[in-house]
Structure 1
Amino acid sequence: MSSPVAGRSATVKDAEMAVEQRRVDSAYARLAEMRAEAQEMIKEGYRQALAGTKGSLVDRDAMVYQAALRAQALDAADDGLVFGRLDLAGGETRYIGRIGVRTREQEPMVIDWRAPAAEAFYRATPEDRRGVVRRRVLHTRGRTVVDLEDDLLDPSAADSLTIVGDGAFLASLARTREGTMRDIVATIQREQDEVIRAPADGTVLVRGAPGTGKTAVALHRVAYLLFRHRRRFGSRGVLVVGPNRRFTSYIARVLPSLGEDSAVLRSLGDLVPGVSATVHDPPELARIKGSQAMAAVLRRAVADHPPGAPDELRVVHAGVVVRLDRKTLDRLRTRLHRRSAGGVNAARRRVAETLLEELWRRYVEVGGPDHDPGAQMQGELALWEGLLAESGLEALDGRRSTVRTRTGREAFEANVRQQRAFTDFLSAWWPIRTPLEVLRSLGDRDRMRRAAGRDLPRPDADRLAAAWAEALSGERPVLGYQDIALLDEIDALLGPPPRPSRASSAEEDPYAAGARAVLTGEELAEGDEEAGLREVTSVIERLERARRVDDETEEDARPEYGHIVVDEAQDLSPMQWRMLGRRGRQATWTIVTDPAQSAWEDLEEARAAMEAAISGPSSRRRRGRARPRYEYELTTNYRNTTEIAEVSARVLELALPGARPARAVRGSGVRPVIRLVPEEAMHAAAREAVRTLLEQVEGTIGVLVPLPDGERWTARDHAALAAGLPERVQVLDVLEAKGLEFDAAVICAPETVADQSPRGLRILYVAVSRATQRLTVLTADPAWERLLT
């Protein structure tokens, strides 16, 4: 039987919940009206077009676009519209929610959590009350208030207020996780709110251990920036980068639930269009691929002659055979690469001109002009010009121009361009290449060694060649996360192909071989007699037009963003930082990191690459306009119970002696289960542990296993372990679990995780900190059982 006090408390709470429910109902009723108004505005926008003027069409587009954005924001706010209340010392009451809601008279009903008027909800403390007497957190399910908690900040001013419960923040942390991460907008602590509302003009660096809320803080900062600086960041775009696809799926609901869905979410394996990472490289291979040395290696790989490139160019003009040998061709290739600032593919037009120039020079050297039918005419013309000059006449100037287009070097080039030997050579010697083709070519050991130069030791070069020969040989290449950054680097070196030829068809284009342009490599459209009138031109005019070669290219399709958020930044390799830097040359940044989790032994190399990425163009640095930097550290562990945090702290001490773990703030009274099981019984023990946890927690359960090693821990083993388990149970390797959290976690074979790589202990530290309520560790090593107990 409950005590009278307990019964009285429940009655008071019910009454307060009823009061808040009426307020929430009013807010939802007004939200419905605002939705109807937005829909009416969309209809009105379309009615604007009936005026029949160009201006009315512009008005329509603007009105419909803005109304659609408004309707979208209102729809996103439906779940948990109101979550907080502030009672101020002057008697004012403010309700805080996902978006702002006003009455028809424009009086505030709900204040947007990002607005300055809502800051006190997060920042007020008993020491710095900011005029707040009571802060109330409302817990809703759908549109129903199911619970509330009060924080009394100023007891001396609370005579007229009813205070219900305590510990609103900690109570919210004990709620079960869903399959996707929910925002913690109602429960942001002061140190987190300082990060969210940091100035927008520079780089924000956030350090914190697992469980300190780094990811949630970064996402709330995105929503805050888009709200306060919509014109700046809304137009240029915001990119949020996570370590893997599972992680981006996990956080995908957060921004929409905060009223923002304009940010782009990508994993490190999905940043390059057209390709996607499907595997994690073994640690040693990832170290080689991600090192800064690969930038020089790839430059040499792009500059090397492509597979199948011919060793000789041979053309005939006026009966004279002209040859360029391999030595000459290599010299020309080196010179062209030094001058191809706009990208290797874009230089293809210049390549043709350079080859023609060298062929003409060689033609002259072998006495070609003596056999040139136009040379004699040129000599006679020069004689007549001399005689006329003595008499002050210049009547032959026009005739000289006409003859020059048909004789001499112009005639030589026009002839060579039309020879199949030249067009075939150009396509094979300087093809339009794709990044994947270049990377695939490095599967050849000799080619890889040439590219490695002195930047990679030969064993590392051979290891890369062997890995790519196996992974990229099939029709469906198997790409690792580091490969994506290398493909982006190659893409930057190659550049886009030249712009399509101005000629409208292969028939008209003197650069065309069949239906393909010789210089650009693009497919040409067949002539369409019904396409309309064409300009009438002579052959000579078309040749002259075609002779004009430049390096104009299509605009670079790689997007650049106004703000970039990088989560789990401590694991990014130098090459991955270079990839991000190309997407944020003028961006501001939010970088979330935990140095204790770093996957990089050479932290200085990764840190230098990060600095280069976030500092912007070198010209900007030279002008002394370095971006400001704001650094924060989150010190409170809100995810783990104190009991689970003790286990992770023991692993951290092994991984990084002397490192200080975050302070856990809530205890559950439930100790982690550490079990010693035979290695051959590990899978059965894991499934048994899952069955137990399914009865103990309502939320998600993560079964975290060692990385695939081709022996006991393979993809097939993972599938067998997961077979028949409910959807809320996920079987992941320890790297896939990075950045995620579960209500309960089962860690299999910690000794194997620790031994799999030089950073195995750090990976294990991350794994044991994933659980919010219950943790089970299964080990076959008695030493690990003693360590973790």
Structure 2
Amino acid sequence: MPAYAPDPAPLDRERAHLAASRAALRVMRQDAEALDIRDVAANWVNAAALEAAKELRVKELADLTHTPLFFGRLDYLPTAQEGQSFHIGRRHVHDAHGDPMVVDWRAPVSQPFYRASRKDPQHIGLRRRFGYTGGILTAYEDEHLDDPAEQSGTSRLLQEEIERPRVGPMRDIVATIQPEQDEIVRSGLGGTVCVQGGPGTGKTAVGLHRVAYLLYAHRERLARTGTLVIGPNRSFLHYIEQVLPALGELEVKQATVADLVAHVEIRGADEAPAAVLKGDARMAEVLRRAVRSHVTLPAEPLMVVRGSRRWRIPAYELEELVTELLARDMRYGAARDALPQRIAHAVLVRMEQSGEAPDDRVQDAVARNPAVKAVVKAVWPAVDPAKLVLRLLSDPEFLAARAEGVLSAEEQRTILWQKPARSVRAAKWSAADAVLIDEAADLIQRTHSLGHVVLDEAQDLSPMQYRAVGRRCTTGSATVLGDLAQGTTPWATESWREALSHLGKPEAVVEELTAGFRVPREVIAYASRLLPHMSPGLAAVSSVRDAPGSLEIRALPAPAGPAGAVDATGAAGTAELDAAVLAACVESLRREGSIGLIAADSRIPALSAALAAAGLPHLDPGAETTAESRLTLVPASLAKGLEYDHVVLDEPSLVVAGEPDERTGLRRLYVALTRAVSGLVVVHRDPLPQQLART
């Protein structure tokens, strides 16, 4: 077993090193603040860029009081790194001579902290972990990897850090990264990685730490191309937004898929069948045909007047130019920009044949000639993506011509609007419509590509949404995170290979995390009873945390009356259920940590009123950054990706019933059951779903 705080003398020395490191960090920040860059830049643009870089550097050097500067130490053997010791932390800190006092966890010299073992010590003699309470160093734990006599075992400090109460937003796991997680975090920038992980396996944290690592290892490249984290909703993004700043990365943008495709205001919603069809990858071909249908072959010759000379381009030659551009399958807008230059070049050939010697300036002038511009406008007109989709969804004949052989007549009727809109502004666009507009926009003009994109909760995306994300990293890479068992949309993917193909990254490596560190073994085993009924063949998570008593099922008496009859005591029964739920919340509030009250969306108004009447303040999902309350009222539809120390789950049968089909309902329930870190209390009056029965 690792030795746990064996001697106060080393602890005092480590505390002194922590104090000295904090002092050194303050000096580094003061030096950055004192930089005089007034006369360095050649112009105001460079001066502004330098000032912004300076301000960012100062922010990066902030000393977060409750965030330890280092969490571990490595003592190398004399045969490696000259036998030096390195303190491993969230950022680099050096002394006045430039010698490291804390080494960034992403540096190569830090890697053995996560991967070294007695079987493979990686030249490490001692690995030391530190324990903190309120930012104060209170304990340490040693592993002598070069001592075969020392027994190996579970790290007590590691376990305590994993189980530390979660009040506020998500925090980093930099001190607890496991070897299989570290391999994913440190994988190269060139390839796309897909991480399949059940509840509590740390896939979201792995994705965020991978961004931090890539920014460390490829900072200049990613500074030019950009990075982006994509989450399922705003509540989720608020929950994770503090992880990267805690690791010193302040400029990573975050967005939802809806943010990426926000070309129009969303004021409508589709029925599930229409949403599924609009999200189908076949719509990409329908849109491609619709865009290209605007091109018409020229039927008349072109006459270009230059001074006293006239140059005639016959219709057949214009047709050849248009046909050639269509065959190249270029972006519609790029081809439209190229057509006047092609026509101008044909005119220049005639000029040269007549003895003239025109240059590029003449070609540009011909391309701007009114006659040439008129031909381009008639043959290859400008297309507005929103207007195109508006026509596609409003005009049955236009849709039928573009969807022939792709969508059946019944499918076409499903996606057509029953009440066609007269204009883009008047249309009641749905979220799926916005994705179609984004696809059309990319067919017209190429979407800017980023260097790296992290896509979380990816299992819930439609094929067209995958394409929208893929457009943002066509020349970059991606980290795709998700759990097939937690897919709760009608279009949720059943195969990562299929999803990655739609993303445009079919060569991506699929990694699976099966060791659970967050959800207690008792809770995950209970939730895993649903897996055979909703995701057959998917491996259950094996939790490393044994927490007896972490699961409690509280059943209220069933309402009186014959089966199938309307419950005359329904109001009283609901009040009894509310009271039992509130009692469970009050009990949880007596414990340390955050509390999540998760319920079917239809129950949220009633529970909110009951909490208010009982004088129990509560937060909405994503507002956990405030200190007003430790209790969050969570609609089941927003629970995905969130975690709480204690969870009270209200009426599981209503969570299932709130979805369009039983399988989706069971997946929604699986998500709700697996949000707890320390304890789960299930309160119900109606019978539990039969799939939760013991088998």
- TM-score if structure 1 supplies the norm length? 0.67
Q: Map of 1:741-780 to 2, 5 A cutoff? A: 741-755=643-657, 756=659, 757=661, 758-780=663-685
Which string of whole-angstrom CA distances, capped at 9 and with x for unpartnered residues, describes residues 534-556 of structure 1? xxxxxxxxxxxxxxxxxxxxxx5
| Matched position secondary structure for 1:246 | helix
Which of 68, 74, 77 aligns to 1:86? It is 74
Shift of 1:277: 6.4
Judging changes above 3 Å, is the alpha-carbon distance between structure 1 residues 277 and 244 closer, same or farther for their aligned structure 2 residues? farther
Q: How far apart in 1 are the matches of 2:494 and 2:618?
A: 44
Give yes or no for the alignment of 1:218 onto 2:207: yes
RMSD between aligned residues: 4.5
* Counterpart for residue 529 of structure 2: 650
Which of 714, 719, 733 aligns to 2:635? It is 733
Residues 74 and 128 in structure 2, CA contact (< 8 A), matched pair in contact too: yes
Judging changes above 3 Å, is the alpha-carbon distance between structure 1 residues 246 and 631 closer, same or farther for their aligned structure 2 residues? same
Residues 204 and 630 in structure 1, CA contact (< 8 A), matched pair in contact too: yes
Q: Map of 1:215-254 to 2, 5 A cutoff? A: 215-254=204-243
Judging changes above 3 Å, is the alpha-carbon distance between structure 1 residues 706 and 16 closer, same or farther for their aligned structure 2 residues? same
Further displaced range: 79-88 or 336-345: 336-345
Residues 599 and 650 in structure 2, CA contact (< 8 A), matched pair in contact too: yes
* Counterpart for residue 72 of structure 1: 59
Judging changes above 3 Å, is the alpha-carbon distance between structure 1 residues 195 and 772 closer, same or farther for their aligned structure 2 residues? same
Shift of 1:111: 0.6
Give the letter for the 1:204 counterpart. Answer: V
Give the letter for the 2:414 counterpart. Answer: R
Residues 77 and 259 in structure 1, CA contact (< 8 A), matched pair in contact too: no
Shift of 1:130: 2.5
Which string of whole-angstrom CA distances, capped at 9 and with x for unpartnered residues, describes residues 263-304 of structure 1? 222212211355576898665443222111211233355467
Give yes or no for the alignment of 1:291 onto 2:193: no
Residues 272 and 484 in structure 1, CA contact (< 8 A), matched pair in contact too: yes
Q: Map of 1:71-220 to 2, 5 A cutoff? A: 71-75=58-62, 79-90=67-78, 92-140=84-132, 143-145=135-137, 147-154=138-145, 156=147, 166-220=155-209
Residues 38 and 71 in structure 1, CA contact (< 8 A), matched pair in contact too: yes
Shift of 1:651: 1.5
Q: Map of 1:543-622 to 2, 5 A cutoff? A: 558-598=447-487, 603=493, 607-608=497-498, 610-611=500-501, 613-615=503-505
Residues 486 and 575 in structure 1, CA contact (< 8 A), matched pair in contact too: yes
Residues 461 and 493 in structure 2, CA contact (< 8 A), matched pair in contact too: no
Residues 229 and 252 in structure 2, CA contact (< 8 A), matched pair in contact too: yes
* Counterpart for residue 502 of structure 1: none
Give the letter for the 1:180 counterpart. Answer: P
Q: How far apart in 2 are the matches of 1:733 and 1:470?
A: 33
Further displaced range: 723-732 or 116-125: 723-732
| Matched position secondary structure for 1:182 | coil
Shift of 1:250: 1.5
Shift of 1:596: 2.9
Q: How far apart in 2 are the matches of 1:759 and 1:722?
A: 29
Shift of 1:746: 2.9
Q: How far apart in 2 are the matches of 1:655 and 1:674?
A: 22
Give yes or no for the alignment of 1:465 onto 2:416: yes
In the alignment, structure 2 segments of 5+ residues that lack a partner are: 296-318, 342-353, 356-369, 560-569, 620-629
Give yes or no for the alignment of 1:19 onto 2:9: no
Q: How far apart in 1 are the matches of 2:154 and 2:8?
A: 12
Give yes or no for the alignment of 1:659 onto 2:646: no
Give yes or no for the alignment of 1:640 onto 2:519: yes
Q: How far apart in 2 are the matches of 1:94 and 1:441?
A: 64
Give the letter for the 1:784 counterpart. Answer: P
Give the letter for the 1:465 counterpart. Answer: L
| Matched position secondary structure for 2:473 | coil
* Counterpart for residue 522 of structure 1: none
Q: How far apart in 1 are the matches of 2:641 and 2:495?
A: 23
User: How many pairs does the alignment contain?
Assistant: 607
Shift of 1:17: 4.4
Which string of whole-angstrom CA distances, capped at 9 and with x for unpartnered residues, describes residues 583-633 of structure 1? 1122122222323334577857873352253449xxxxxxxxxx6x54432
Q: How far apart in 1 are the matches of 2:437 and 2:639?
A: 25
* Counterpart for residue 5 of structure 1: none
Further displaced range: 467-476 or 20-29: 467-476
| Matched position secondary structure for 1:211 | coil
Judging changes above 3 Å, is the alpha-carbon distance between structure 1 residues 779 and 720 closer, same or farther for their aligned structure 2 residues? same
Q: How far apart in 2 are the matches of 1:694 and 1:637?
A: 23
| Matched position secondary structure for 2:111 | helix
Which string of whole-angstrom CA distances, capped at 9 and with x for unpartnered residues, describes residues 315-351 of structure 1? xxxxxxxxxxxxxxxx9xx989958966556777999
Residues 209 and 637 in structure 1, CA contact (< 8 A), matched pair in contact too: yes
Q: How far apart in 2 are the matches of 1:223 and 1:278?
A: 37
Give yes or no for the alignment of 1:38 onto 2:32: yes
| Matched position secondary structure for 1:137 | strand
Residues 589 and 595 in structure 2, CA contact (< 8 A), matched pair in contact too: no
Give the letter for the 1:704 counterpart. Answer: I
Judging changes above 3 Å, is the alpha-carbon distance between structure 1 residues 89 and 765 closer, same or farther for their aligned structure 2 residues? same
In the alignment, structure 1 segments of 5+ residues that lack a partner are: 1-8, 307-330, 354-396, 399-412, 496-555, 617-626
